[in-house]
Structure 1
Amino acid sequence: MRKHEQPQQRRIRMHFILIAITLALVSGRIATVINPEGDSAFLSANDRSRWVSVAALVEKGTFAIDELIVIKTPKGHRLWDTIDKVRHVGPDGRLHYYSSKPTLLTTLIAGVYKALHWSTGLSMTDQPIYVPRMLLLLINVPTLALFLVTMMWTVERTDTTDFAKRLVVAAACFGTMLTPFAIALNNHLFAAAATSLTLWIYLRCCERIHDDFSSLTYMPRFWPWFVAGTSAAFTVACELPALSMFCLWGVLFAWEAPRSIPGFLLGAMIVAAGIFGTNYWAHQSWRTPYAHRGYGDVQDTFEWNVAAQDSEKAVADSLRDALRETQPLESAKSILVRSLFEGGYAIVAEFEQDGKFREIQYKVEQDPASKSGARWNLRSWDDWYEYPRSYWRSGNRRGVDLGEPSRAAYLFHATVGHYGLFSLTPIWILMPFGLAYRCLKGPGYERRLAVSVALSSLVCFAFYVARPEIDRNYGGVSICFRWMLWFAPLWLYGMLAEADSWSEKAVGRIMLGVLLAASVFSMSTSLDSPWQSPWLYRFASFLGWLS
């Protein structure tokens, strides 16, 4: 070994020790993870929505979760039920409940569960504590390892000080909120790992392309580009706003190596086929459940007078008679009428065709052009979140799910407030300055990458701040502003330059240690579950600062 390589080897050995400690810590938490009721390893409605879909797909052969969400424990707890579900007509023509989560990740996890179920005979419905723990060990721990190892090699490829490299790898292991999310089933860990893999491939390829010696022999035609396209697209499958960075990845790879385009696009196309194919398999629709939140075209218009003093049954009977005069419902075998929370009526009509029954939903609402109020429109139904006792109906949401009325307050709390990116993970303070430095100095491929990371970060954050009030909920009840977690590898890379600058002086190294320690503190307060309010939010509530 050459003398100048010895410090690097010692540093890499220390990196691997930190990674091993992180994986052991997460594995230990997974081995003991359990919900507050003590009857499953499901920590919230969010991960329960994925678990129930995985179990239904493997054990029942369907994405419909009706049979599982009604199961009760001896104490009467519905351990499989979740608020993150939708309802629509299934392949059998009947209304069924489904998980609202994207289907590609669910299908891949179901494949792992299928292998475990086949090899051991264990099922989640019989063992809702130990089987999910086994699956988390098989899935989350390798995924976390992929994130940490590729992040380590990314850090080692930069021309920064020994102190800065050690600090950033330590931050990746213990200083971000990804570590607590590794103990539960979620999309954020997978998105971050895929992003880290894409980042490492990009820097590795660019370094070899621009190296005077290796550039003569480094002429890959397919595999690096294919893997990069696959991982970049898989990030989108887990985090839809990552589409912005996916487009920028395509530009970055094409700029450095035009020959990368076919492999990159092929990898992305395979993932895209998986996204749309599994979604259609699950929902018989090319659009995700999130896109089914409205109503379709007007199918017919009819006259109907409703008296305010009539009973609910009288109103339903009268409306049913009026609907039978409309063309779409004249052949219906039965018509179920129920009130909508925000006005109008929901209709479920049953039809018979070739001896099979099919249910179709409609919405009845007053025609805005009707002066007398006696003319009504019959619309096709496309709001999968509208069903009896739906949590997402107006009036049923609670807490942060009500939405933040003020965009200014939302911007404050999402950055330096109780859900703040910088207040909960102070090490990110280095990131904007590090990215700004890399945008101006260094090799061209690093400058272009820094510009892309900064642009995508701003676009995604602005997207969430610009959302309607009902969607400004900080990501729901979780330990941080979780929608930006997939940026972790890009931000860790971005902060390297600033950490390098600070590490030149003793006071700078002390400050870096303080920022890392504060970030580790935040992370450690959340190791029991990622599905709880941030410690700053809980502390502010204790002080009475939040209503």
Structure 2
Amino acid sequence: MKDASEKGIPIAGVYTLLIVIALSVVSGRIATVISREGDTPFLSANDRSRWCTIAALVENGTYQIDPFLERRGIKQNRRPWATIDLVRHRGRDGQLHYYSSKPPLLPTIYAGVYWCVSRTMGMWLSDHPIYVGRVILWLVNVPTLLVFLLCTILALDRVTHSVWAKCFLAASVCFGTMLLPFSVALNNHLPAAASAAVVLFIFVRSLQVPTGHRWWLLAGLAGGFTAANELPALSMTVFWGGLLLLVQRRALPAYSAGVLVVAAAFFATNWIAHQSLRPPYTHRGDGALITTLDQAEPTDDQLRSALVAEDLASEQSQIETGPSRDPRRTRVVVDGKQQFGLIRNADGVSQLRHWDDWYDYPSSYWVDGKRRGVDVGEPSRLVYFANMTVGHYGIFSLTPIWLLMPIGFLGLLSSRSTELRLLLAVIALATVVCAVFYLLRPEIDRNYGGVSVCFRWMLWFAPLWLFAIAGPAEWLSDRPWGRWLAYVLLAASVTSMSISLDGPWQSPWLYRFWQYLGWLAP
């Protein structure tokens, strides 16, 4: 296959055309995106959780989302802002409040966009959710998608020579992954993938063009932002640092500085929102020990005495007790605003602890008996692994172009440059680390990412896996049967993606098909 200059093919024009089409498809979907009930552009509890935070920050100056949860829509019995992705804990005012369970950094950034929109248009999101919501969604998602598309394509262009491979990979970037469906709703996966693409491009570019500290600072900001949006991606952030230590040591200080800036912002927004450095979704257990009681079932007076002794209540305080989602734990509420946990031990004594299970609150969805479908969790790790790879949520079954990825990792033994072989090794290692991380999660967390069109927790790998398939695509381009095989894989991936363009928060088409066949319970 002759290269682009020999054939006279304007490859930059092909790239531009594909990117314009992809952005236009997403823009059209955003322009018409609407909830099932027709009163908001919010498609699920997942994105509603972030929308609540964005609105609360700009309209009320707080991360507390209580007022939005009860707002009524077109139908009076409908609460279009309600979400199950929330936590409850004591706020700065001493009262119990609801908050989004999502890390607050990304919604805080998006709230800045909303602030500009509200000042320009003179409209509140809560009053005009469809109109203002679509404007904000376009302003944050389309530029982010553009960054992903542009950086990934430019990185792949630098490591491929065949025109056919370049075009195949560019088409795969634009239409072969599940990122387009995720571009029509507010989520953390699109910015994570875009950030990973930025680091990939800067690293690949540095192998051919002298790269200054500003570029590496940008790479650090992008690497840190990837981890801020996908916590397990912290492994790749660290691996990028290790890779630079091996091949671009002078870049490491600037890269590290960028990561530290994002880390500071991540922990600062967590502290401002929750008075905790830990993200809200990590608060799911028992808090620090207050005292030990000799009774397995202490009375309210005994509880009062213990709390008064620790200066956590007064003699006049009202003490209420009730069940929690943990059978061994009793909820203790003081004056309706402070919570503690009474843990019964088998030896006839009990422990009084601070409350740290933010998912345990009245009407919580995250208790046994209320969770439904995939949210119940998969008991078998073997079944979970099968479904997350080749099953109904399968990485390979829903996006068949990823079948070339393991072959690409064999490029570790190819004649490519040492730096590129090391990069492939790092991507392979991060893939295994993250897959094992999700596989070893407790049963309640083995839910495939909930109701979504794919195994979304590893979607941020898209630019890195596309880099991994560049080698196989180049090899297939020289063989007629290889090109036809690639066409089939790309066609199947694009078909799978297009089925999901209604929005990311629906079960994968394979899951729904298996339900239709009766293989899965409805």
Distance in structure 2 (CA, Å) of the matches to 1:538 and 1:94: 43
SS at match of 2:369: coil
Distance (Å, rounded) in 1 between the aligned partners of 2:8 and 2:44: 43
Alignment partners' CA distance in 2, 1:50 and 1:261 = 34
Contact 2:39 2:74 in 1 (8 A): no
Retained in 2: the 8 A contact 1:438–1:494? no
Instruction: Measure the CA separation in 1 of the matches of 2:134 and 2:498.
Output: 20
- Kindly state the Cα deviation for residue 221 of structure 1 after the two structures are TM-superposed: 4.2
SS at match of 2:347: coil
What amino acid maps onto 1:342 in structure 2? Answer: D
Name the CA distance, whole Å, in 2 between partners of 1:520 and 1:386: 41
The residue type paired with residue 336 of structure 1 is E
SS for the counterpart of 2:286 is strand
Residue deviations 1:46-70 (CA, integer Å, cap 9, x gap): 0000000000011000000011111
Where do 1:369-448 residues align within 5 Å?
369-370=347-348, 375-448=349-422
2:222 is aligned with 1:242 = no
Q: How does 1:163-202 map to 2 (within 5 A)?
A: 163-202=164-203
Instruction: Determine the C-alpha separation between the residues in 1 that align with 2:217 and 2:313.
Output: 54
Deviation (angstroms), 1:441: 2.7
* Compared CA separation, residues 274 and 442, structure 1 to 2 (3 A): same
Instruction: Give how far 1:9 is off.
Output: 5.8
**In the alignment, what sits opposite 2:464?**
490
Q: Could you say if the C-alpha distance between residues 530 and 330 of structure 1 is closer, same or farther in structure 2, counting changes exceeding 3 Å?
A: closer
Equivalent residue, structure 1, for 2:314: 331
Shift, 1:179, TM fit: 0.7
Q: Distance between the aligned counterparts of 1:330 and 1:125, measured in 2?
A: 38
* Other-structure match for 1:348: 333
CA–CA distance in structure 2, aligned partners of residues 49 and 427 of structure 1 = 32
8 A contact 1:235–1:242 mirrored in 2: yes
Q: Distance in 2 between matches of 1:391 and 1:14?
A: 48
Instruction: Work out whether residues 323 and 330 of structure 1, in 8 Å CA contact, stay in contact via their aligned partners in 2.
Output: no
CA contact (8 A) 1:69 1:78 kept: yes
1:56 counterpart letter in structure 2: A
- Deviation of 1:4 after TM superposition, in Å, equals 6.4
Q: Which residue is equivalent to 1:136?
A: 137
Task: Provide Cα deviations, 1:195-243, integer angstroms capped at 9, x if missing partner.
Answer: 11100000001123xxxxxxxxx3x442011011110111001101111
Q: Structure 2: where are the runs of 5+ without partners?
A: none
Shift of 1:267: 0.9
Q: Which residue of 2 aligns with 1:520?
A: 494
Partner Cα distance (1:120, 1:461) in 2: 44
Q: State the 1:497 CA deviation.
A: 0.6
Q: Which residue of 2 aligns with 1:71?
A: 71
CA distance in 2 between counterparts of 1:330 and 1:283 reads 22
- State the identity as a percent: 49
Q: How many residues align?
A: 513
Aligned in 2, Cα 1:458/1:439: closer, same or farther, shift over 3 Å? farther
Say which one has the larger Rg.
Answer: 1
Which whole-Å CA distance do the structure 1 matches of 2:64 and 2:192 have between them?
A: 26
Secondary structure (helix, strand or coil) at the match of 1:178 reads coil
Q: Identify the residue that residue 123 of structure 1 maps to in structure 2.
A: 124
Alignment deviations for residues 401-460 of structure 1 (CA, whole Å, 9 cap, x no partner): 111111111111111110000000001101110121145431111011000000000110
Listed as ranges, the gaps of 5+ residues in structure 1 are: 209-217, 307-317, 351-357
- The letter of the residue matching 2:172 is A
User: Could you say which residue in structure 1 is the equivalent of 2:301?
Assistant: 321
CA contact (8 A) 2:286 2:355 kept: yes
Shift in Å, 1:305: 7.6
Paired residue for 2:157? 156
RMSD over aligned Cα atoms:
1.7
Is residue 221–residue 259 contact of structure 1 (8 Å, CA) maintained in 2? Answer: no
**What is the 5 A alignment of 1:92-107?**
92-107=93-108
Q: What are the residue-to-residue correspondences of 1:218-237 with 2, within 5 Å?
A: 218=210, 220-237=211-228
- Whichever residue aligns with residue 240 of structure 2, its letter is W
Residue 28 of structure 1 aligns to a residue whose secondary structure is helix
Q: Which digits, 9 at most, give the CA deviation of each residue in 1:228-271, with x for residues without a partner?
A: 11101110011011111111111222322222122111111111
Which whole-Å CA distance do the structure 1 matches of 2:91 and 2:351 have between them?
A: 25
Look up the SS of the partner of 1:532 in the other structure.
Answer: coil
Look up the match of 1:30. Answer: 30
Indicate conservation of the 8 Å contact 2:160/2:166, yes or no.
no
Equivalences for residues 304-315 of structure 1 within 5 A: none
- Whether the 8 Å contact between 2:402 and 2:465 is mirrored in structure 1 is yes
